[in-house]
Amino acid sequence: MNELTLADESDPISGNKPERELKVISHGGGVQSTALLALAAKGVINFPTFLFSNVGNDSENPETLRYVRDVASPFAQQHGIALELLEKVRRDGRTETLWQRLHRPEKRSIPIPVRMANGAPGRRNCTADFKIKVISKWLRHHGATADTPATVGIGISVDEIHRANRRRAEPNQIVSYPLLDLGLRREDCIRLIKEAELPVPPKSSCFFCPFRTVEEWRTRRATDPELFSKSEDLEKTINLRRAALGRDDVYLTRYGIPLGTAIQNSLSEDRDDGNCDSGWCMT
């Protein structure tokens, strides 16, 4: 798969205030975000810029990367919409992916919400570090401040209203939910995508995200056994590191057993528990 061409979000800060209100969509590459792209193309919503913060070509769902590259980006360009592809850039100027951070031997904390033995998710820093802060930095470079914040639209639909939170994720941005304002549900989003003559995108997330359901893990094993195997290896790597620190094992499912065993033993009825509630991922 060809890699996405990324905009470097470490461009020098201009220091100038935006000439007009800065309005962007946090584009996750999934159904709701693509529906927002269709609405922007029709002029229903006024968001001229979409920002896709790629947590890594080695981390994102490959199907999402293909969709953004081959479908969303050309569609945006065709309709005069800027779809910027961002990545995390460290202070030393090097890019960093979530997969790389997970495999840094000196890191003791785990940035993804792995499940404890009781099924509860651990701390989640991945969204903040690889989505929210990357977008916030881009906004700052384009003039957004606490005094003149940008409006950041997030693709949460009415059926996921429990995920909405209008607190400022960062001082230089105000969160907006255009789909909620329009009263649109997920099925409406799918209809809008089809009306725009676009294929319906796959669910967006990192391929190893612990918020995947067991059924989604089973599908991944059937359709892409290599990625499934990489997820199993990641789980083992994390636990080897934790064992060396005298800590208990953690898992990529809520069942307190290794991934390969969990998808064989657990019931097929396994719904999303709503813990991924920020709206910056899986939209």
- pLDDT surpassing 60 at residue 11: no
Query: Which H helix or E strand runs over 50?
Result: strand 49-53
- Answer whether residue 227 is part of any domain: yes
- Answer whether residue 1 is part of any domain: no
Q: Say how far apart CA 49 and CA 23 lie, in whole Å.
A: 7
Residue 270 is predicted with a pLDDT of 53
- Answer whether residue 249 is part of any domain: yes
Measured in whole angstroms, the distance separating CA 165 from the mean position of its chain's CA atoms is: 16
**Mean pLDDT in residue range 16-45:** 89
Read off the pLDDT of residues 114-134 as tens digits, 9 standing for 90 and up.
Answer: 999 888 888 889 999 999 999
How many distinct structural domains can be found in the chain? 1
Q: Per-residue confidence at 162, pLDDT binned at 50, 70, 90?
A: confident
Which distant-in-sequence residues (6+ apart) come within 8 Å of 19 by Cβ? Answer: none
Which tokens sit at 133? Answer: 């802060």
Q: Over pLDDT 90: what percentage of the chain?
A: 75
- Answer whether residue 273 is part of any domain: no
- Answer whether residue 161 is part of any domain: yes
Residue 73 is predicted with a pLDDT of 98
Structural domain range at position 232: 23-265
What does the DSSP 8-state code read for residue 56? -
- Answer whether residue 245 is part of any domain: yes
- Give SS3 for 85: strand
- Answer whether residue 224 is part of any domain: yes
Q: Over pLDDT 70: what percentage of the chain?
A: 86
pTM equals 0.87
Q: What is the CATH number of the domain that holds 208?
A: 3.40.50
Query: Which H helix or E strand runs over 152?
Result: strand 150-154
- Answer whether residue 58 is part of any domain: yes
